[in-house]
Amino acid sequence: MIAATEIWAQDMRMRVLGIETSCDETGVAVYDTDIGGPAGLRAHAVYSQIALHAEYGGVVPELASRDHVRKLLPLIRQTLAEAGLGVGDIDAVAYTAGPGLVGALLVGAAVGRALAWALEVPAIGVHHMEGHLLAPLLADDPPAPPFVALLVSGGHTQLVQVDGIGRYRLLGETLDDAAGEAFDKTAKLMGLPYPGGPQLAALAAHGVPGRFRFARPMTDRPGLDFSFSGLKTQVLLAWRDSDQSEQTRADLARGFEDAVVETLAIKCARALEQVGGKTLVVAGGVGANQRLRAALTALCQARGGRACFPPPALCTDNGAMIAFAGALRLAAGQCEEPAITVWPRWDMATLPAVG
């Protein structure tokens, strides 16, 4: 296996343009393998479509695709300028090929493939969740495999055993709503504006802990799968039966957040115990939640290990994680035929190993 830190010392050195368009954020970055490590991220920028979709209370796929068309090329120009590079300085292109919204994925794939073809450089389609999984390697003092990864976002909640780059084994996943999705839906039930997850987390900071205690789903049985849809229903019923004051809203938010955080912590502890590991990598948008970070850091420290997180700016969807993941695979000699292919559903366990 080729460790991430060893890639940068190899002869194959590239400036990789990363493109992320899987959902409602347009992300572009340049990663330079000649520099390596966190410093190798020459520039990155993200354009969020929150304002566009707020009117509808959620992502509208067709509008997301059209907005990527409008924003992607200007964002590429902006990012290259910030990196001090011209388009001809790009040595390779990495783009998100899935999973995600098919129309949004096709925008990034078409631009990435066209650019690679015009420049006569290699290109590679990157798995969106592998990008998230590897994003903590862009932090200072990155972890080295093997480790357990918690991928927790609006669309995914998974526990993965990572034995190397491309060597993944699914340990458990959500059976219904992902944790981030449950945050957003619960916030909407309580009348919070879109996107609800961050709003609910901010509100929970003012809540009284323990006033509302909700179930810790599926922690009373063995296994590493998750379920959050029932928790969302519990909050709805409590909200309907309450005085619906601002303080009650905050207390409910705190009770919900505590339930999600404790559930994730319990399952992470089980996963580490099952594989005999001490290192936990946490990635995805919900990984920016401060209470979750504190709980998982304390959990790992108590076990004599550590919890590793991406820099906060790289928790949500971004081009940096795609450029970095693509650089690792391209440096290992992996690339693809010049065809525009995307996979709205894509099992990460099918990815080839690096090395």
Domains of the chain: 15-135+314-350 (3.30.420.40), 145-309 (3.30.420.40)
**SS3 state of residue 125:** strand
86 is in an annotated binding site: no
pTM reported for the whole predicted model: 0.93
pLDDT at 12: 65
pLDDT at 9: 38
Residue 202 binned pLDDT confidence (cut-offs 50, 70, 90): very high
Q: Calculate the CA dihedral of residues 333, 334, 336, 337 and round it to 10 degrees.
A: 30
351 is in an annotated binding site: no
317 is in an annotated binding site: yes
pLDDT at 308: 96
Burial of 154 (0-12, 13-18, 19+ CB in 10 A): buried
184 is in an annotated binding site: yes
Query: Contact at 8 Å (CB) between 157 and 174?
Result: yes
In this model, does residue 1 exceed pLDDT 60? Answer: no
Structure confidence by residue, pLDDT tens digits, 52-99: 999 998 899 999 999 999 999 999 999 999 999 999 999 999 999 999
Higher pLDDT, 352 or 336: 352
In angstroms, the first-to-last Cα distance of the chain is: 4
Mean pLDDT of the chain: 93
Structure confidence by residue, pLDDT tens digits, 4-37: 334 333 456 799 999 999 999 999 999 999 998 8
Q: How far apart are CA 215 and CA 237, in angstroms?
A: 13
A 10 A CB-CB count for 216 gives: 18
289 is in an annotated binding site: yes
What is the per-residue DSSP string for 188-229? HHTTPPSSHHHHHHHHHTTSPTTSS----TT-SSSSS-B--H
Average pLDDT of 148-165?
94
Average pLDDT of 99-107?
97
pLDDT at 336: 82
Query: Contact at 8 Å (CB) between 216 and 258?
Result: no
Structure confidence by residue, pLDDT tens digits, 299-334: 999 999 999 999 888 999 999 999 999 999 999 989
152 is in an annotated binding site: yes
C-alpha torsion sign, points 177, 183, 186, 191:
negative
Structure confidence by residue, pLDDT tens digits, 253-297: 999 999 999 999 999 999 999 999 999 999 998 999 999 999 999
The encoded tokens of residue 259 equal: 């339930």
Average pLDDT of 165-189?
93
In this model, does residue 48 exceed pLDDT 90? Answer: yes
Percent of the chain at pLDDT above 90? 84
Residue 3 binned pLDDT confidence (cut-offs 50, 70, 90): very low
pLDDT at 5: 38
Structure confidence by residue, pLDDT tens digits, 213-255: 999 999 999 999 999 999 999 999 999 999 999 999 999 999 9
84 is in an annotated binding site: no
In this model, does residue 124 exceed pLDDT 80? Answer: yes
E strand intervals along the chain = 15-20, 25-32, 41-48, 92-98, 123-127, 147-152, 157-164, 167-173, 279-283, 306-308
